[in-house]
């Protein structure tokens, strides 16, 4: 077993909203610039939180309910299978927990997690998201209001360095369901070694400037991911 781990290749999967689309969670940029009928700046920025915390909390309470009701799809489940023969790291921009529920063991969330709440003053005081939803008046143990454990626009991305270190070590990279327009997440692919195989599964996938060895798979995650996973398992 030890020997196996030494020889196993590393696959890094970079996922975005498109990997969860077939689980019924809407993507951000496929619906006329609105996200679940809201403008991003009204609900997903630190300014929005200061201006109208109740609106922001209600919005994320809805997202929480939606994620709880969703189930992992064929793409999430196929990615778990890769662990039979590879060391697999999933680096996701998604705040849902569908990779974890599909069984993936190493998942890094770049933009936070909807299943958690945290102190609005102490970033390291993190709690499970309340089942009945977050409320104004819910406080951390130091007495500060709880907020969704989400990285909003304009906030730092604390997991970025860790994610870049993971991508640097990859032998294969698979990008799934992201428009690759939100930075710094979109920059991660540039940390991958130039000569390794890379795949980009997304109905709207196209070449990414500066990225070599990129195989474009212009198809849905639920269809293309299981196929690619089977190929990679065969060739491991």
The binding site for ligand OAD (CB under 6 A) comprises 16-18, 21-22, 27-30, 40, 44, 93, 111, 151, 153, 177-179, 181-182, 202-204, 220-221
- DSSP H or E run through 128: strand 126-128
> Which pair of tokens denotes residue 38?
């809201």
- Between 151 and 192, name the residue whose CB sits nearer to ligand OAD: 151
- Between 46 and 84, name the residue whose CB sits nearer to ligand OAD: 46
155, 46 in Cβ contact below 8 A? yes
Smallest separation (angstroms) from ligand OAD to the CB of 180:
6
Listed residue (37, 28, 27, 26) closest to 59, CA to CA: 37
Smallest separation (angstroms) from ligand OAD to the CB of 128:
20
| Cα pseudo-dihedral 228, 231, 233, 236, rounded to 10 | -120
Residue tagged active-site, from 76, 99, 109, 111:
111
- Between 100 and 202, name the residue whose CB sits nearer to ligand OAD: 202
Say whether 126 sits in a helix, a strand or coil.
strand
Give the CB-nearest residue to ligand OAD: 18
| 3-state helix/strand/coil string of 23-80 | CCCCCCCCCCCCECCECHHHHCEHHHHHHCHHHHHHHHHHHHHHHHHCCCCHHHHHHH
> Which pair of tokens denotes residue 206?
């196209």
Based on the residue annotation, tell me whether 149 is a catalytic residue of this protein.
Answer: no
91, 12 in Cβ contact below 8 A? yes
Smallest separation (angstroms) from ligand OAD to the CB of 52:
17
150, 60 in Cβ contact below 8 A? yes
- Between 55 and 87, name the residue whose CB sits nearer to ligand OAD: 55
Smallest separation (angstroms) from ligand OAD to the CB of 141:
27
- Between 146 and 180, name the residue whose CB sits nearer to ligand OAD: 180
Smallest separation (angstroms) from ligand OAD to the CB of 112:
8
Catalytic residues: 111
């Amino acid at each position: 077993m030890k020997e196996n781990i030494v020889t196993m290749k590393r696959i890094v999967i970079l996922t975005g909203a498109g990997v969860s689309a077939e689980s019924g969670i809407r993507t951000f940029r496929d619906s006329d610039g609105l996200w679940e009928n809201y403008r991003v700046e009204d609900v997903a920025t630190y300014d929005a939180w200061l201006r109208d915390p109740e609106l922001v909390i209600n919005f994320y309470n809805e997202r929480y309910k939606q994620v709880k009701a969703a189930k992992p799809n064929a793409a999430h489940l196929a990615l778990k299978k890769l662990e039979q023969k590879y060391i697999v790291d999933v680096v996701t921009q998604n705040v849902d927990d569908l990779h974890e529920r599909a069984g993936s063991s190493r998942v890094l969330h770049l933009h936070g997690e909807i299943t958690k709440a945290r102190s609005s003053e102490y970033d390291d005081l993190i709690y499970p998201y309340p089942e009945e939803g977050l409320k104004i008046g819910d406080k951390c143990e130091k007495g500060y209001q709880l907020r969704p454990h989400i990285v909003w626009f304009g906030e730092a991305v604390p997991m970025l360095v860790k994610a870049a270190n993971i991508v640097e070590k990859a032998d294969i990279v698979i990008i799934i369901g992201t428009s690759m327009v939100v930075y710094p997440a979109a920059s991660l692919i540039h940390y991958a070694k130039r000569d390794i195989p890379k795949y980009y599964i997304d109905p709207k996938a196209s070449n990414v400037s500066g990225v070599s060895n990129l195989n474009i798979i212009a198809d849905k995650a639920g269809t293309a991911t299981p196929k690619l996973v089977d190929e990679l398992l065969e060739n491991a």
